Each structure stands twice: as structure tokens, then as C-alpha cells.
Amino acid sequence: MKTDQQSLSVGVIWVMTIAVCATVANLYYNQPLLPLMGSSIGIDSSDLGIIPFASQIGYAAAILFISPLGDVMRRKTIIGLLSISLTLSLFGIYGANSFWMLVLAMFIVGLSANITQQIIPFAASLVEPKNKGKVIATIMTGLTVGILLSRTVSGTIAEYFDWRTVYLVAALISMAIGFLLFAVLPNPMPAAKLAYPKLILSMFTLFKTQPLLREASVTGALWFAAFNGLWATLAIHVTDEPFALSVQQAGLFGFVGMAGIVGAKVSGQLIEKWGAKKLITLGLTFVLSGFIVMGIWGDSVIGLVIGILLLDIGVFGSQIPNQVRIFSIDPKAQSRINAVYMLFYYLGAALGSAIAVKVMASAGWVGLVMFGATLALTGLCFHIFKNRSVS
């Protein structure tokens, strides 16, 4: 059975979804593993934040310099090359014996994980308009699951083996998925013939001329910085006193984060009724409330669980309406608009992770919570202020 005019079958859609899930997970495996990496290689605790920063900044760089290539090159070719790069860099992490070797491999993993940002617009370009929403929602569910469960998977594997085994398994999965994508993906010619420099420059033009895109990008960067700051330091917090949990137990908090899927689904259903602005305001209020709860009751498991629930529901509940409203800006430039937005999103993630670990090392859990709450409050105030004039 076909779902569209260009042979994108249901089976291919699920292969894309699984590929997105497994690929994006590589960006987040390191978060519960940071204490183990530090003790294994001999990394100062204040420098551990550079590890997640490297993968996130690599992903952000790829969004800027690689994502636009999907408009002018065959996406199947790009995905194939990125799959090779991803597999080799994951093997590199597995064998890393120094801090900077680890950081470099993490950066290349981030670059290579651009597979996700090739698959999503690829699928959108291959389906009929009536099926586009359903297909993209399916693939985005894979993205969300990959982000949220990655920590649980890596924590569990590391508990029974070691942190290096996580990346050995990831490399083998990447290799298998690369072969599968090459076997099943269609290979249409690109529609655009714009020269690469003009393609890149047009993204800056969009950011300069579209106030809604600027507001959405900055707001998204702020809440995703807060989100990644929490997840980059949570394992450090709960493996220390008074919790003294194992890495596997720390990773299990990823299951709590699955509430984000509920937030995304409910938000998607309410967009037409409530409007994107109200849903984003509500979502950021949830994020801020989550940090307040974790600030007051952060030394108890129940307090952390409630805080994480509020945080993840708020972040993923805001993400859907934020993307819906930017896609209304210019139907002819959706790939580049999405690239601009995602660039800010993952720059926020990279900086949030790096700064949060530094804050945690110097000011403890209280300082970390204040850092996250400040980002959330800034995002909320910025969104409300800008939407007094931005439509």
C-alpha cells in the first residue's frame, strides 16, 4: 500500500521513524554517563559540561551548514554519507583515551546526527498534503522518544557493562540503520538549484526580516537550554548524597521524561482551539514551575519526579505550537525556516549543558535550579512581551 505519489510506503515511514529515534539518541547518551566518563579518563568535574556541549554544538553547526544541502542535493546521498560519519565517530568515542579525543568524537557525532534533520523534510516532501501532518507527527514521535529514552538506555547499559559499551552498541545500531536507509529510501532529484552560498545567506535574510521567526527561535533556545541544563546535571545530583543512586537508576528518570510525549500530543490537539501563543505561555509556566518544585523539594525523589514531569510536559508542549506558527511564515521556505529555528534550539542546548555543569560544580543544586528558573522566566517574559506586537 502506498501513502503518496512517490512510493513512500508505510514501511519506509516506520524505517524513517526508527532511524530518527536511534540517531537523535546519540546526542543524549552522554548525559547520565558524565560522572563515569570523568572518573575513567580523568576529567575535572568542572570540565564535564564540554562533553554534551560538543555534541550539541556539532548538531547546531550541521543545522546551519548541512541541513540546507537537502534542497540542492539528493537527500539519500547526504544521509548515506552522514551514516558513515556517525558510525565512525561512535567507534571513536568507544576507543577515546583522552578528554580532547572524546570531545572531538562527540562533536562529529553531533554533525553526523543531522540525519534527523534530513529525514524530516525528506518525508514532508514525499507525501501528499493530506497525509503530511500524520507522517510528520509519526516521525516527530520517534524524535521525542529518542531524546527521552536515550538516558535510560545508556544508564542501563553502563550499569551492567561500562560507559564505552554504550557507544559500541550505538555504533553497531548506526551501521545497521545506515544500510537499511540506503536500501529503502527513494532517491528523487532535488527541486532547487540555488547555489550553496546563496542558500546559506537566505537563512540569515529570513531571520532578519521575520520578527515571528526571531521571537520563536530565541524563546525556544531559552527553554531548551533550561531543559538540557537540567538533564546534563541530574545524574551528577542523584549519584551524590543524599540519593547515592547508581548510573542505571539515574537513567531511569528518563522514563519520567516520557510525559513530554503527552504534552506534545495534548498541545497539538489544542492548537486550533487555544492558539499557539497561549499554549507556549502555558508551557513555559510549566517549565518555570518544574524548576521551582525541584528547588524546594530537589532532595527527594518525589520532588524530582514532579519537577521533571512539569519540565518535560512544558518543553514538548511548547515545541509543537512553536513550530506550527513558524511554518506559517512562508510555505516556500519551510526547510530553511526550520533550520534557523533548530539552529537556535541546539545552540541553546549546547550552551545550557555546558554552563549548567559549571554552575553545578560551583554553586551546587540550588545554583543549577536558579539557573534553569532564570532561563525559563526570561523565555516567558520575552514571549509575552514580543507577542504584544508580533502576530
Q: Spell out the residues 6+ positions from residue 94 whose beta carbon is closer than 8 angstroms to its own.
A: 164, 167, 168, 171
List the grid coordinates of 164. Answer: 564505552
First to last CA, the chain: 41
Same domain, 142 and 285: no
Q: Nearest-CA neighbor of 352 among 217, 233, 225, 222?
A: 225
Same domain, 68 and 144: yes
pLDDT at residue 344 in the model:
92
Nearest to 85 by CA among 56, 53, 59, 108: 108
Do residues 191 and 209 both lie within one domain?
A: no
Give the domain range for residue 301: 205-391
* Residue 73 resides in a domain: yes
150 and 264, same domain (yes or no): no
CA atoms within 13 A on the CB side of 246: 14
Show pLDDT as tens, one digit a residue, over the chain (391 residues): 344 444 568 889 999 999 999 999 999 899 888 889 999 888 887 788 889 889 988 998 998 899 888 877 888 999 999 999 999 999 999 999 999 999 999 999 999 999 998 898 788 777 776 666 567 767 877 888 898 788 889 988 998 899 999 999 999 999 999 999 999 998 887 766 778 888 888 888 989 999 999 999 999 999 999 999 998 899 889 888 888 888 778 777 877 877 777 777 777 678 778 888 999 999 999 999 999 999 999 899 999 999 999 998 999 888 878 877 886 787 667 678 888 998 898 889 889 988 998 999 999 999 999 999 999 999 999 999 988 754 4
Question: Has residue 1 been placed in a domain?
Answer: no
Spatial separation of the C-alpha atoms in residues 346 and 327, rounded to whole Å: 18
The answer to whether 317 and 264 are in contact (CB under 8 A) is yes
pLDDT of residue 121: 77
Number of structural domains in the chain? 2
pTM, entire model? 0.75
What is the domain-level CATH number for residue 104? 1.20.1250.20
231 and 281 part of one domain: yes
8 Å CB contact between 118 and 59? no
pLDDT attached to residue 368: 95
Does residue 81 fall inside a structural domain?
yes
Residues 212, 315, single domain; the answer is: yes
Residue that terminates a domain, selected from 177, 196, 215? 196
Q: How far is CA 249 from CA 66, 165, 309, 334, in A?
A: 37, 17, 17, 41
For residues 315 and 234, membership in a common domain is answered with yes
pLDDT recorded at residue 390: 46
- Both 145 and 270 in a single domain? no
Whole-angstrom distance, CA of residue 347 vs CA of residue 180: 30
Q: Evaluate whether residue 225 is within a structural domain.
A: yes
Are 58 and 174 in the same domain?
A: yes
279 and 319 assigned to the same domain: yes
